[in-house]
A and B are shown apart, each in its own frame.
Chain A
Amino acid sequence: MPPMFDDTSPVSRKQITEAYLKALRLIDERVTPLLGKITTRVLVQAAARHVMDDHPFLYFFVNMPYTEIDPAIIHEQFSGITTQELSAGLDALLDACFAGLTELTGNIIAPPLHSEVIYHLQQAQQQ
């Protein structure tokens, strides 16, 4: 999907990060009852490994589940990244997560959840 936060979006890095973290938490919330609570964390780790070559600033998601990383550290890690890069990187991460989810469960979870996540990100952009 195209980055939700493009050049025209007058939003900060922090807002972008929080919007995507919220999206990941939403995925976690929906996936946990179906595949167990560890799955989303592992999915995010594997997705980060997948997109790390193009977006190296996401490396710290590889070594640790995103739920265990202090948000302040995440913001600090992203401090030197432009909002465009950040948005593109987190978007790629989200895409990789959905690709993984589709790989595991086909179209059972991914399509409706993807729509829900898009909706939330759009809401976040408008706020």
Chain B
Amino acid sequence: MQSQYSVTEDLYRMESTYPCLLEQQPGIVNTMDGIESRLPIISNELEVLNKIGKRFLSAIDRFHVHRALMTTLQEMYSFSACCILLKDNPHQLFIIPCQPLSASFIEDMIGRIASAAKVLGFPTAKAEQLAQAAYFDAPDEVAQFRTQEAIKSTEIGSCLSIPLTIDNRIIGILSLFDELVGTFDSNLLKLTTLIADYAAVALENVRLREREHALWRQAERERQRLELIIRSMTESLFITDEYGAIISMNQAARHLLSQLANDLPTNIPLQQLADTHNVKWLYDVARSVNEALSGETVTGREIIIGNEQVPLTLSLSVAPLDDASGPTTHLLGAVVVLNDITATKQVERLKDEFVSVVSHELRTPLTNIKGYTQHLIRRLERRIRKHHEGQPQQQATQVDLPESVDLRSLQIVQSQTDHLERLVNDLLDRSRVQWGQLTLEYQSFYLADVLAKCISSVQASAEQHLLSLEIQVSDTQIVADKSRIEQVVGNLLDNAVKYSPQGGHVTVRLQEQQNMYLVSVIDQGIGVSPEQYQHIFERFYRVSNAATRQYSGVGLGLYVAKAIVTKHGGKIWLSENKGIGGTIFYFTLPCATGPKNAGLPQK
């Protein structure tokens, strides 16, 4: 092997190019003394480093880096081929030949690179895989091809592998091969390591740039996809800035807004536009946008535009648009979605009208059934009373007349008719509640009497249940709509019985709290899960679980009950019947309920 300190023909060439970068070159550094004499050398050294640095820094892709590397290395010495193995997943191998290479030379090169990779702890860098992944880059303009005569051998004579490192991290290997033996020595190794450091930085820059481009392309694709989705949405969508001014909108929004207001300018806060135009719907939208800008989300708010028989009805949803990319979220604006639900509303109105008509039609025969049943009950009661009056008292209680059985049957018919009447009333009231047409007819009555009457009615057809009344107040007089209060109590009792299939106690308790009557209907039934509490008073809402599937109903009773109680100035809610199981429904009515409290003229 060549001595460590011997100077080869190539090294002489390098010496003339980079004299100061070599160690212990006699007659160059050591013979020059003093700062003045050293300055030209330092200047020359910096110039060379600057030249190399510029070459690598100006490389915009990995092939430019290869050219910079080849140019710099070939200024120092000649060799057969240079290879770069990058520790990516999968590994990338670039072979940059300086002369035609035989297949065995290439195969041997790849084998040696794989061995070097193993030595440096590269995971799974096998020669076969590298051979498949190898990419030949042949920058002819920088290759200093040797003539066929100059090529001494087709076998590898010298090999050098240098780790490419960035911040104490090996990113790859630079391998140099030559067919001559002893081409590389420690001086060349030191210089080549220096060049490899430049190459590593340049390759890392290229990798980061490629990653940046890939991310940018991905972001751009996402942006285009999002734009396409927004453009093809049938819902109107627009985005406001943090001041509430529209900054962009989709086609549907542009079309809708042009229909509503011809000269609606953008880039002006909606609140300001509403004040200028004095249009109600614009106020509604501006209010919702302002709510979103203060961090709230508005969902499904209805906006009615126009006074026609079928007004334009829009469902408005607004959400704050936050930039969560930084350490703290920053409000960018709001996203507004307007959905035209006029057709849905029209169908709903038609459905309401239909239900209303059907309910009215049902009510007429129901009234007759109820009337005749009451008539028969009274007749039977009179007959039984008369019969009992003619008998000794002890005997009278023991004898079970056929009329008593008939009376019992009729009482069940009456109770069920009451239940049916409540259902029909609920159907009728539903549309009244929805369109704000629920009216109350106030009268003075005793709340305890209404509660007792309702209990008696429901008890008649609830043989498995024991309904009881607890009055915990001395005076129960109230001014309210008696029939509506009956409807509320009846609905709550119907539910209590229906959802207590095993029977049990149903207690109605009347208390007074803070100038309000508090009525509690306590059952021992299957109960309601807490997550359904907030929905249970919604229209057509039915508690859905396996236990409730067997129970009939339309989900209107509690909706109507809430509307009636609210109209009276009270509240209705429910809680779990702790300990025993079941549910407790509460509702309150002001003790001084009446037209004054309800905003109606005093009777």
* Residues in A29-49 with C-beta less than 8 Å from chain B: 33-39, 42-43, 45-46, 49
| Cβ-defined partner of B158 (8 Å) among A38, A99, A106 | A106
- Find out whether the CB atom of B121 lies under 8 angstroms from the CB atom of A103: no
Specify which chain A residues have a CB less than 8 angstroms from the CB of B112 in the assembled complex: 103
Complex CA distance for A104 and B122, rounded to whole angstroms: 14
* Residues in A81-127 with C-beta less than 8 Å from chain B: 99-100, 103-109, 111-112
B116 contacts the other chain (CB 8 A): yes
- Find out whether the CB atom of A100 lies under 8 angstroms from the CB atom of B119: yes
- Among the 9-residue stretches B12-20, B88-96, B164-172, B418-426, the one with 4 or more Cβ atoms under 8 Å from chain A is B164-172
| Cβ-defined partner of B120 (8 Å) among A34, A42, A105, A106 | A42
User: What distance in Å separates the Cβ of B163 from its nearest Cβ neighbour in chain A?
Assistant: 5
B1 contacts the other chain (CB 8 A): yes
Please give me the residue from chain B that is nearest to A46 by CB atom.
Answer: B121
User: What distance in Å separates the Cβ of B11 from its nearest Cβ neighbour in chain A?
Assistant: 13
Please give me the residue from chain B that is nearest to A102 by CB atom.
Answer: B119
User: What distance in Å separates the Cβ of B437 from its nearest Cβ neighbour in chain A?
Assistant: 78
B101 contacts the other chain (CB 8 A): no
| Cβ-defined partner of B163 (8 Å) among A33, A39, A112 | A39
Complex CA distance for A39 and B120, rounded to whole angstroms: 8
Please give me the residue from chain B that is nearest to A99 by CB atom.
Answer: B119
Interface of B is mostly: mixed
A43-B119, A105-B189 known; A36-B158 Cβ under 8 A = no
User: What distance in Å separates the Cβ of A110 from its nearest Cβ neighbour in chain B?
Assistant: 11
A36-B197, A43-B120 known; A103-B163 Cβ under 8 A = no
- Find out whether the CB atom of A104 lies under 8 angstroms from the CB atom of B190: no
Please give me the residue from chain A that is nearest to B163 by CB atom.
Answer: A39
| Cβ-defined partner of A103 (8 Å) among B115, B185, B193 | B115
Most B C-beta atoms less than 10 A away, residue of A33, A35, A112: A35
A36-B197, A43-B120, A49-B121 known; A104-B162 Cβ under 8 A = yes
B4 contacts the other chain (CB 8 A): yes
| Cβ-defined partner of B159 (8 Å) among A33, A36, A106, A109 | A106
- Find out whether the CB atom of B165 lies under 8 angstroms from the CB atom of A46: no
Specify which chain A residues have a CB less than 8 angstroms from the CB of B38 in the assembled complex: none
User: What distance in Å separates the Cβ of B82 from its nearest Cβ neighbour in chain A?
Assistant: 15
Specify which chain B residues have a CB less than 8 angstroms from the CB of A35 in the assembled complex: 162-163, 189, 193
- Find out whether the CB atom of B4 lies under 8 angstroms from the CB atom of A108: yes
- Find out whether the CB atom of A112 lies under 8 angstroms from the CB atom of B4: yes
- Find out whether the CB atom of B170 lies under 8 angstroms from the CB atom of A46: no
Complex CA distance for A15 and B119, rounded to whole angstroms: 28
Specify which chain B residues have a CB less than 8 angstroms from the CB of A36 in the assembled complex: 162-163, 165, 193, 197
- Find out whether the CB atom of A34 lies under 8 angstroms from the CB atom of B169: no
Complex CA distance for A88 and B186, rounded to whole angstroms: 31
Complex CA distance for A42 and B164, rounded to whole angstroms: 12
A34-B193, A36-B197, A103-B119 known; A108-B163 Cβ under 8 A = no
B583 contacts the other chain (CB 8 A): no
- Find out whether the CB atom of B163 lies under 8 angstroms from the CB atom of A42: yes
| Cβ-defined partner of A45 (8 Å) among B4, B121, B190, B197 | B121
Complex CA distance for A106 and B186, rounded to whole angstroms: 11
Please give me the residue from chain A that is nearest to B196 by CB atom.
Answer: A36
Complex CA distance for A107 and B181, rounded to whole angstroms: 11
- Find out whether the CB atom of B189 lies under 8 angstroms from the CB atom of A34: yes
Specify which chain A residues have a CB less than 8 angstroms from the CB of B254 in the assembled complex: none
B387 contacts the other chain (CB 8 A): no
B537 contacts the other chain (CB 8 A): no
User: What distance in Å separates the Cβ of B460 from its nearest Cβ neighbour in chain A?
Assistant: 82
Specify which chain A residues have a CB less than 8 angstroms from the CB of B170 in the assembled complex: 38, 42
A42-B170, A100-B119 known; A34-B163 Cβ under 8 A = no
Complex CA distance for A83 and B351, rounded to whole angstroms: 95
- Find out whether the CB atom of B193 lies under 8 angstroms from the CB atom of A38: no
Specify which chain A residues have a CB less than 8 angstroms from the CB of B185 in the assembled complex: 108
A35-B193, A38-B168 known; A104-B186 Cβ under 8 A = no
* Residues in B291-347 with C-beta less than 8 Å from chain A: none
A34-B189, A103-B115, A108-B184 known; A42-B121 Cβ under 8 A = yes
- Find out whether the CB atom of A105 lies under 8 angstroms from the CB atom of B160: yes
Complex CA distance for A107 and B3, rounded to whole angstroms: 10
Complex CA distance for A109 and B160, rounded to whole angstroms: 11
A36-B165, A38-B163, A103-B161 known; A108-B189 Cβ under 8 A = yes
Specify which chain A residues have a CB less than 8 angstroms from the CB of B221 in the assembled complex: none
Specify which chain A residues have a CB less than 8 angstroms from the CB of B186 in the assembled complex: 34, 108-109
Q: Other than the known A42-B121, A42-B170, A46-B121, what 9 A-B pairs have Cβ atoms closer than 8 Å? A: A34-B186, A34-B190, A103-B112, A104-B119, A105-B189, A106-B1, A106-B158, A108-B184, A108-B185
What are 11 contact pairs spanning A and B, CB under 8 A?
Answer: A34-B193, A37-B168, A38-B165, A38-B168, A38-B170, A39-B120, A104-B120, A104-B162, A106-B160, A108-B4, A108-B186
Ranked nearest first, the 9 interchain pairs of A and B with the lowest CB-CB distance are A100-B119, A46-B121, A104-B161, A107-B1, A103-B119, A38-B168, A36-B165, A103-B115, A42-B120
